[in-house]
């Protein structure tokens, strides 16, 4: 993409109404736009990052057997009444709306109910199980506070996978397989060395759920981390009894702030039972399907990356999620030099590289400042000076040194 064609502009001003680093940087660099508190639009650069995160998640979910679907946001209250989750006293973050004829509808904050109900059309026999549908879809939650930029929104994307299994053992096996898949996702997103499996409260059907918590001062959670064992316990379940059952020693635990980038949950028959999601086993006996749910917030992941990977000059994207592979900055003015810069752009693009080509007619200083702010991992500078040596200057965003590389 030629930067002269990119309609978004960078800004030097830090937005006054944003307290979080991720929102400040992403707005200044032109990745997102704040529509209202807790609602952000994604602009070309931001959408590129979000789509890269989504595709990493897709790849890893497909490997463990996920099948992608896309459910509606509009919700029929009848299903939610059956599981006792329609009432505002029980679920405090519903957005609700009405049809012209006054019928009440909900905007989905999660999708257990509609999916369990839908699966009744497809699950009859033990032969139809197990299965693992997932989606990357919009959720609405009337969050009390939304001050963490794109890490806590009232409208946000969620990857939610749901497992439908015949037995507890079958469920447990799949549940375990999601842990390395999740860790792989966060590693590919550049959060590998800061993300830890964390024990959290489990509900009726299991002792724990597991959260994937990324260490950052901007996180809203407090966890107790055993760095050597690479596991943590959320403050909400931090008791002597739980520590003993996990064989964790208080002396080895660090109290740290973290953000929950994903979580996995055993649901048992909590939703399948009231919604009547059953199957016939080998002996033609009716059994209730066992469910699990597995969430990741791609927007929250993007916000977390921005929090973790930045410096005083701007963002520093990890390779796999960067909006572009290379930022080609041209300081060429003479027609013959510009031609060489154009040729390099074409060559890199034809090699399959995603290149943002700064072909604008602005000062070198402004170009470098924008390049640092936007944070593409590798910068190529082509100028009359580098061309004198038949070269281009190559610099990584997270390093000081650069090197001259022959064209
Ligand atoms: P939290 O404890 O942070 O409120 P949660 O436990 O309610 O989140 P889930 O309902 O399990 O979260 O959602 C799955 C994933 O969706 C979370 O792990 C997180 O990555 C993401 N997520 C949840 N709430 C939000 C939000 N308000 N904005 C952005 N992402 C979110
Ligand atoms: Mg949580």
Contact 280, 125 (CB under 8 A): yes
Tokens describing residue 311: 């410096």
The answer to whether the predicted template modeling score (pTM) of the entire model surpasses 0.95 is yes
The pLDDT profile of the chain, 407 residues, written as one tens digit per residue, is: 999 999 999 999 999 999 999 999 999 999 999 999 999 999 999 999 999 999 999 999 999 999 999 999 999 999 999 999 999 999 999 999 999 999 999 999 999 999 999 999 999 999 999 999 999 999 999 999 999 999 999 999 999 999 999 999 999 999 999 999 999 999 999 999 999 999 999 988 999 999 999 999 999 999 999 999 999 999 999 999 999 999 999 999 999 999 999 999 999 999 999 999 999 999 999 999 999 999 999 999 999 999 999 999 999 999 999 999 999 999 999 999 999 999 999 999 999 999 999 999 999 999 999 999 999 999 999 999 999 999 999 999 999 999 999 99
> CA 268 to CA 263: how far, in whole Å?
16
Supply the DSSP symbol for 14.
P
Distance 297 CA to ligand 1 centre (A): 6
What residues make up the domain containing 186? 3-311
- In DSSP terms, 215 is beta-bridged to 258
Distance 157 CA to ligand 1 centre (A): 10
Contact 264, 209 (CB under 8 A): yes
Per-residue CA distances from 166 to 56, 129, 175, 365, 395 (Å):
29, 6, 13, 62, 54
Number of structural domains the chain divides into: 2
Three-state DSSP state, 135: strand
Q: Is residue 243 domain-shared with residue 151, that is, in the same domain?
A: yes
Three-state DSSP state, 26: helix
For tokens 């909590």, name the residue. 270
Within 6 Å (CB) of ligand 1, which residues are found?
110, 141, 143, 152-153, 156, 158, 260-263, 295-297, 299-300
Q: Is residue 298 domain-shared with residue 329, that is, in the same domain?
A: no
Whose CA is closest to 29, among 54, 56, 3, 51?
A: 3
Ligand 1: atom nearest CA of 158 is 16
> CA 208 to CA 86: how far, in whole Å?
25
Q: Is residue 337 domain-shared with residue 390, that is, in the same domain?
A: yes
Q: Is residue 395 domain-shared with residue 277, that is, in the same domain?
A: no
Residue of the nearest CA to atom 2 in ligand 1? 260
Q: CATH no. for residue 363?
A: 3.40.50.800
Of 61, 111, 209, 263, best ligand 1 pocket probe by most atoms within 8 Å of the beta carbon: 263
Q: Is residue 208 domain-shared with residue 281, that is, in the same domain?
A: yes
Q: CATH no. for residue 180?
A: 3.30.930.10
Provide DSSP, 183-224: HHHHHHTT-GGGEEEEEEE--SS-SEEEEEEEE-TT-SEEEE
Which phi and psi angles does 85 have, rounded to 5°? -120, 15
Residue of the nearest CA to atom 18 in ligand 1? 262
Q: Is residue 298 domain-shared with residue 344, that is, in the same domain?
A: no
Q: Is residue 164 domain-shared with residue 266, that is, in the same domain?
A: yes
Of 93, 186, 198, 260, best ligand 1 pocket probe by most atoms within 8 Å of the beta carbon: 260
Residue of the nearest CA to atom 28 in ligand 1? 152
Q: Is residue 304 domain-shared with residue 241, that is, in the same domain?
A: yes
């Amino acid at each position: 993409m030629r930067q002269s064609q990119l309609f978004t502009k960078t800004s030097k001003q830090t937005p006054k109404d944003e307290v979080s680093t991720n929102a400040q940087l992403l707005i200044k660099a032109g990745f997102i736009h704040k529509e209202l508190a807790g609602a952000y639009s994604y602009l070309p650069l931001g959408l590129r990052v979000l789509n890269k995160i989504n595709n990493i998640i897709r790849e890893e979910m497909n490997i463990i057997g996920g099948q992608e679907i896309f459910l509606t946001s509009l919700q029929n209250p009848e299903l939610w009444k059956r599981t006792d989750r329609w009432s505002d006293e029980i679920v405090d973050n519903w957005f609700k709306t009405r049809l012209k004829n006054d019928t009440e509808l909900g905007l989905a904050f999660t999708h257990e109910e509609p999916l369990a109900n839908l699966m009744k059309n497809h699950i009859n026999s033990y032969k139809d199980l197990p299965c693992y549908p997932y989606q990357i879809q919009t959720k609405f939650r009337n969050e009390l506070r939304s001050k963490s930029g794109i890490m806590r929104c009232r409208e946000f994307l969620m990857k939610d996978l749901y497992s439908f299994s015949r037995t507890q053992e079958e469920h447990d096996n799949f549940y375990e397989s999601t842990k390395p898949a999740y860790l792989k996702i966060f590693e590919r997103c550049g959060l590998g060395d800061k993300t830890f499996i964390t024990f959290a409260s489990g509900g009726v059907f299991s002792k724990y759920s597991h959260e994937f918590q990324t260490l950052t001062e901007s996180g809203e959670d407090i966890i107790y981390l055993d760095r050597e064992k690479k596991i943590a316990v959320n403050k909400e379940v931090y008791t002597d009894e739980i520590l003993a059952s996990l064989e964790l020693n208080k002396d080895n635990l660090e109290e740290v702030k973290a953000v929950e980038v994903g979580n996995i949950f055993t649901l048992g028959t909590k939703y399948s039972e009231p919604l009547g999601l059953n199957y016939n086993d080998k002996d033609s006996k009716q059994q209730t399907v066992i469910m699990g749910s597995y969430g990741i917030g791609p927007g929250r992941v993007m916000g977390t990356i921005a929090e973790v990977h930045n410096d005083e000059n701007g963002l520093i994207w990890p390779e796999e999620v960067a909006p572009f592979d290379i930022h080609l900055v041209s300081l060429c003015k003479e027609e013959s030099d510009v031609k060489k810069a154009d040729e390099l752009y074409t060559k890199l693009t034809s090699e399959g590289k995603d290149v943002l080509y700064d072909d604008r007619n602005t000062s070198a200083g402004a170009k470098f400042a924008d390049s640092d702010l936007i944070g593409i991992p590798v910068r190529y500078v082509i100028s009359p000076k580098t061309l004198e040596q038949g070269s281009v200057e190559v610099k990584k965003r997270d390093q000081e040194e650069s090197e001259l590389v022959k064209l």
